[in-house]
């Protein structure tokens, strides 16, 4: 009979421990997911900035040799990420795709100039910087016009700023919620041992002595829960990467590793702090309050 009771108690303790670990892991997963999105938000913004087109159109009198020479020069500028040379023939084929094969029949000669399609480094994709670059490029006598989507640049920068601010606020809120939920989970777990803690306090055990086994258990609990959260997060990231090439391009592996490590540290730290606070309160609780 006694052995049966011990098995029942053991199963209940294991179930309680597993439930608390899973609860903590779920909270840490949400926290880590928001952190990964936050640290990679800049990369997402840079990806869109660097894929915006900055088109340079040459004058009709410009020869292919002159345009190629200009292309070689501008490739070396520090604000250029890459440069695509578009000959008249290539430009005509692109226009035929857009407007149909007969669009050139209304012209006596081809109006399509030689052009360059530039992709700029993300750091210069702001309205002021682009205007400065435009004036610089237009100062060359071979260049007829420079075209870029100014409104899209402003909208992109404004939206990225808003998104970054929202994500940062959400991350802070999630951190506070995480601490509260994990503290509550730990509190419920320790509450079942309140009579043992109170008894140890009555016989003169120091607070540090009472807290030690609970803190060691909290370290293990936080470590296991954070490993579980990191494992699920890596699985989710892997699945999304299979479906989205964009995620593979914008996600920084080093930043992701740092977030995963910080998740483990945060899980252990929150569990330890919560445990120490709860055990400290339980050690000095009155006998009457033990039953509430």
* Position 261 confidence tier, pLDDT thresholds 50, 70, 90: very high
d(CA 267, CA 31): 10
Q: How far apart are the first and last CA of the chain?
A: 30
Longest dimension (CA), the chain: 105
Please say which residue of 148, 176, 194 terminates a domain. 148
Cα 1 to chain center, whole Å?
Answer: 55
Q: Quick one: average pLDDT of 83-106?
A: 71
- For residues 276 and 196, state if they share a domain: yes
Residue where a domain stops, chosen among 121, 148, 175: 148
Domain count, the chain: 2
Higher pLDDT, 17 or 141: 141
Could you report the per-residue pLDDT of 249-258, keeping only the tens digit for each? Answer: 677 788 888 8
Least confident of 16-25, 83-92, 115-124, 201-210: 201-210
The answer on pLDDT for 124 being more than 70 is yes
Asked if 272 and 218 touch (Cβ cutoff 8 Å), the reply is yes
Give the domain range for residue 13: 2-47+156-291
| Whether residues 105 and 59 fall in one domain | yes
**161 and 286 part of one domain:** yes
CA distance 185 to 188: 5
CATH code where residue 93 lies: 3.30.70.3040
The answer to whether residues 138 and 94 belong to one domain is yes
Q: Does residue 42 share a domain with residue 23?
A: yes
Same domain for 196 and 238, yes or no, is yes
The pLDDT tens digits of the residues spanning 137-177 come to 898 899 888 888 877 777 777 777 787 778 778 778 877 77
What is the C-alpha to C-alpha distance for residues 185 and 183, in angstroms, rounded to an integer? 5
Confidence of residue 207 (pLDDT cuts 50, 70, 90): low
Question: Measuring CA to CA, which residue among 77, 75, 105 is closest to residue 92?
Answer: 105
Same domain for 67 and 43? no
Domain match, 277 and 163 both: yes
> 284 and 166 in one domain?
yes
DSSP, collapsed to helix, strand or coil, labels residue 149 as coil
pLDDT at 23: 79
Residue 92 · residue 112 · CB < 8 Å = yes
Q: Give the contacts of 233 (CB within 8 A, at least 6 positions apart).
A: 29, 32, 33, 36, 260, 263
**Do 125 and 206 have their domain in common?**
no
Same domain, yes or no, for 34 and 167?
Answer: yes
CA distance 1 to 244: 58
86 and 109 together in one domain? yes
Of 148, 178, 197, the last residue of a domain is 148
């Amino acid at each position: 009979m006694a052995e049966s009771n011990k098995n029942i108690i053991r199963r209940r303790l294991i179930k309680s421990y597993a439930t608390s670990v899973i609860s903590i892991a779920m909270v840490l997963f949400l926290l880590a997911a928001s952190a990964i999105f936050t640290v990679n938000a800049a990369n997402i913004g840079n990806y869109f900035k660097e894929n915006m087109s900055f088109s340079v159109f040459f004058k009709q009198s410009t020869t292919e040799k002159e345009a190629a020479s200009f292309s070689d020069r501008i490739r070396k500028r520090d604000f250029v990420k890459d440069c695509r040379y578009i000959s008249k023939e290539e430009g005509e084929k692109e226009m035929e795709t857009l407007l149909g094969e007969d669009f050139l029949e209304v012209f006596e000669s081809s109006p399509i100039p030689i052009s360059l399609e530039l992709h700029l480094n993300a750091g210069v994709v702001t309205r002021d910087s682009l205007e400065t670059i435009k004036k610089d490029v237009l100062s060359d006598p071979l260049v007829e016009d420079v075209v870029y989507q100014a409104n899209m640049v402003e909208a992109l920068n404004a939206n990225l700023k808003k998104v970054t601010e929202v994500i940062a606020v959400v991350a802070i809120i999630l951190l506070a919620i995480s601490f509260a939920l994990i503290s509550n989970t730990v509190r419920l777990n320790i509450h079942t041992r309140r009579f043992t803690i109170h008894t140890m306090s009555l016989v003169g055990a120091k607070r540090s002595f009472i807290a030690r086994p609970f803190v060691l258990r909290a370290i293990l609990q936080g470590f296991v829960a954070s490993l579980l959260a990191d494992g699920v997060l890596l699985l989710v990231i892997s699945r999304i990467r299979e479906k989205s090439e964009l995620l593979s391009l914008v996600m920084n592996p080093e930043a992701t590793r740092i977030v995963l490590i910080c998740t483990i540290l945060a899980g252990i730290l929150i569990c330890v702090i919560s445990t120490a606070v709860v055990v400290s309160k339980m050690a000095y609780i009155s006998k009457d309050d033990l039953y509430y």
